[in-house]
Chain A
């Protein structure tokens, strides 16, 4: 039994605060638990790790029941193949980087440990720092040690609690890139707690929104963002579709990259990576212009044939949010109510969606 497979979580409690959460995370997915602080997200993570017990809970991974209150089963935390990256990293102050990793390798035969440490140090780009103690590391380095230590467990599930909350904005972005790259290298089931939707939009494939102890929305990030159906986000953040695309061609002469997400084809400013590379893209609703005739003479790369799926209020009297289908992909466009009237934008109508190449945020 390798412990891989879908992670299923069901959690109910009345105290210390009421909670009723149920979701599953597909094998190899990055599932974000998103919601305001105090909503109970971290408790879910702790319950998966076996650090929190409730009277009614099920935590099952690939058919193994780690917690099953109905059957009276509870696997202690130290026996679960789980890697946990704590919000403040929780590095042991008395141990060097190498010793932190060695501590988490107790499940491997002694002969394998040194080689495994070398691999992990390389994976987390910590080669020169093996003899350092946490106090002598920067915030970003500490985060990488915490990640390497969690991976040392050879976990079936990697749990991240607000992994980027303790670092500044610039470092956060580069750490997100590293985590995305790492996730591609070692295909893991990741469950990440965050209150920063940028983490969701850039890293997560699946999303579980938790508010006041219960799930208020769940699904793939592409589906939920394209339907503008994320509670707690409406009105606080510009609607934007986040979806996975892949590189279909590089055009070095024009310094452009051709991306595809199903039927959606986009030209964007050069994104590094060979053909086939997966790229997370985000397209803000404000960046999508609608037209009923093919325009000419514009500095525009992407003119997409779309169909209108619906028109909803845009959070302001004068604005409308238009839901579009481009083949099997979906986009959102924020336009004025006046434009809806003059262009005759109505459900089912064909329309051209114009997307500036620079308006596509690509994250690889």
Chain B
């Protein structure tokens, strides 16, 4: 059992959720309510990680993060070490890969709010920000919870992209999914089985939590 890999995965998952949800809410709200040309294109771009093979995605990220790219150079200039094969690089990749898992449930939840409710919020004297806080956020909560759980679970399980941009550096980029693969390669089926079981349990627990949350919120209405 690779405890370092497990805690790294959990740290990566939590950080991804915390950093991605606010971004995803802003993006989802823009896509749900905004009226602008090229919305279909933005939506397709957000959904891309769902269908793109992880290795393809990983390859492009590797190029974009590389020491030759402007982003990679800027990062190295500020922090003193390369972006690729680092935890920060992994986190950045994780944010991008999880975009559809975070944006789509929130966007659907926001789009399901009847337009009259948002008008009513304004007519109750709520400023646009207050209307988001007191009407849109509470009503979109099931979608936000779903986004959080899906993002976390998906981060724990992501394999291809992590391998491409992170490699398998213990304590830095070796997540539990990579560790399982390593153990299988080393014919250590006992360790691989145990870690697979941990992932399975966490995934089941995550789904249980979302379902309960969604039910509780639905019940409240």
Please classify how large the interface on chain B is, using the bins under 10, 10 to 19, 20 to 34, 35 or more.
Answer: 20 to 34
Q: Is the CB of B123 within 8 A of A153?
A: yes
Asked if A51 and B124 sit within 8 Å, CB to CB, the answer is no
CB contact between B117 and one of A79, A90, A104, A135 (< 8 Å): that residue: A90
A332 and B127 alpha carbons, distance in the complex (Å) = 51
- In the assembly, what is the distance between CA of A48 and CA of B135, in Å? 23
From known contacts A106-B126, A107-B125, infer whether A90 and B120 are also in contact, taking CB-CB under 8 Å.
yes
Contact of A135 among B122, B124, B221 (CB under 8 A): B221
**Alpha-carbon separation in the docked complex, A84 to B124 (Å):** 8
Chain B residues whose C-beta falls within 8 Å of the C-beta of A91 in the assembled complex: 120
CA distance A93 to B126 in the complex (A): 17
B116→A88 contact, CB < 8 A: yes
Chain B residue at smallest Cβ distance from A88: B116
- A49→B220 contact, CB < 8 A: no
Residues of A within 8 A of B123 (CB): 49, 51, 77-78, 82-84, 150, 153
- C-alpha spacing A133/B221, complex, angstroms: 7
Is A103 on the interface with B (CB-CB < 8 A)?
yes
Provide the bound-state CA to CA distance between A152 and B120, in Å. Answer: 13
Complex-state Cα separation, A84 to B125, whole angstroms: 11
CA distance A249 to B123 in the complex (A): 43
Bound together, the chains give a CA A78 to CA B130 distance in angstroms of 10
**Which B residues touch A103, using CB under 8 A?**
121, 124, 126, 134
Whether A323 sits at the interface, judged by CB under 8 Å, is no
Task: Name the B residues within 8 Å of A255 (CB-CB).
Answer: none
B70 CB within 8 Å of chain A: no
Nearest neighbor of B138 in chain A, beta-carbon distance: A94
Separation in Å of the B201 CB from the closest CB of chain A?
A: 33
Contact B221 A149 (CB under 8 A): no
Which residues from chain A contact B124 at a C-beta distance below 8 Å?
78, 103-104, 106, 149, 152-153
- Nearest Cβ on chain A to B122's Cβ, whole angstroms: 4
User: Which of B119, B125, B128, B139 is close to A93, meaning CB atoms less than 8 Å apart?
Assistant: B139
Smallest CB gap from A146: residue in B = B120
Closest Cβ of chain A to B57, distance in Å, is 38
Beyond A77-B123, A103-B124, A107-B125, is A94–B116 a contact (Cβ under 8 Å)?
A: no
Q: Chain B: which residue is nearest A50 at the CB level?
A: B122
Please tell me if B80 contacts chain A, counting CB pairs below 8 Å. Answer: no
A residues 114-156 with Cβ under 8 Å of B?
133, 135, 149-150, 152-153
Whether B221 lies near A93 (C-beta < 8 A) is yes
Q: When chains A and B are docked, how far (Å) is the Cα of A79 from the Cα of B123?
A: 8
A106 and B125 within 8 A (CB): yes
Q: Is B114 an interface residue (CB 8 A)?
A: yes
Given A84-B119, A86-B116, A94–B125 Cβ distance below 8 Å?
Answer: no
CB of A197 within 8 Å of the partner chain: no
Instruction: Report A184 CB to chain B, min CB distance, Å.
Output: 24
How far, in angstroms, from A86 to B139 measured CA to CA in the complex? 19
CA–CA, A49 and B125, complex, Å: 11
Query: What number of residue pairs across chains A and B have CB atoms under 8 A from each other?
Result: 70
- Which of chain A's residues has its CB closest to B139's CB? A94
Shortest distance between the CB of B54 and any CB in chain A (Å): 38
Which residue, of B120, B126, B135, has the highest number of chain A Cβ atoms within 10 A? B120
Residues of B within 8 A of A93 (CB): 139, 221
A78/B125 in contact, CB under 8 A: yes
CB distance from A157 to the nearest CB of B (A): 11
CB atoms of A78 and B116 under 8 A apart:
no
A78-B125, A104-B125 known; A86+B120 contact, CB < 8 A: yes
Contacts of B121 in A (CB 8 A): 92, 103
Closest to B221 in A: A93
Whether A92 touches B220, Cβ cut-off 8 Å, given contacts A78-B125, A78-B126, A104-B125, is: no
Q: When each residue 97-130 of chain B gets 1 if its CB lies under 8 Å from chain A and 0 otherwise, what string results? A: 0000000000000000010110111111111101
B117, B120, B121, B123: residue with the most chain A Cβ atoms closer than 10 Å = B123
| Complex interface: chain B residues within 8 A of A152 (CB) | 124
Set of chain B residues within 8 Å of A150, measured between Cβ atoms: 123
What separation, in Å, do the CA atoms of A301 and B167 have in the docked complex? Answer: 100
Contact A92 B127 (CB under 8 A): no
Query: Which listed residue (B119, B134, B138, B221) contacts A51, Cβ 8 A?
Result: B119
**In the complex, which residues of chain B have a beta carbon less than 8 angstroms from the beta carbon of A46?**
119
How far apart are the CA atoms of A79 and B126 in the complex, in Å? Answer: 8
Partner of B119, one of A86, A106, A107: A86
Find the A residue at minimum CB distance from B126.
A78
Q: Which residues of A contact B135 (CB under 8 A)?
A: 92
Q: Chain A's nearest CB lies how many Å from the CB of B135?
A: 6
Q: Are B117 and A92 in contact (CB under 8 A)?
A: yes
Contact residues in A for B125 (Cβ distance below 8 Å): 78-79, 104, 106-107, 153
17 A-B pairs besides A92-B120, A149-B120 with CB distance below 8 A are A49-B122, A51-B119, A78-B124, A78-B125, A78-B128, A78-B131, A84-B119, A86-B120, A88-B116, A90-B114, A92-B117, A94-B221, A104-B124, A104-B125, A106-B130, A135-B221, A153-B125
B contact residues vs A (CB 8 Å cutoff): 114, 116-117, 119-128, 130-131, 134-135, 138-139, 220-221
Q: Mind listing 16 A-B residue pairs with CB under 8 Å?
A: A51-B122, A78-B123, A78-B126, A78-B128, A79-B125, A84-B123, A90-B119, A90-B120, A92-B120, A93-B221, A94-B138, A94-B139, A94-B221, A103-B126, A104-B125, A106-B130
Complex A-B, nearest 5 residue pairs according to Cβ-Cβ distance, in ascending order: A90-B120, A90-B116, A104-B124, A77-B122, A84-B123
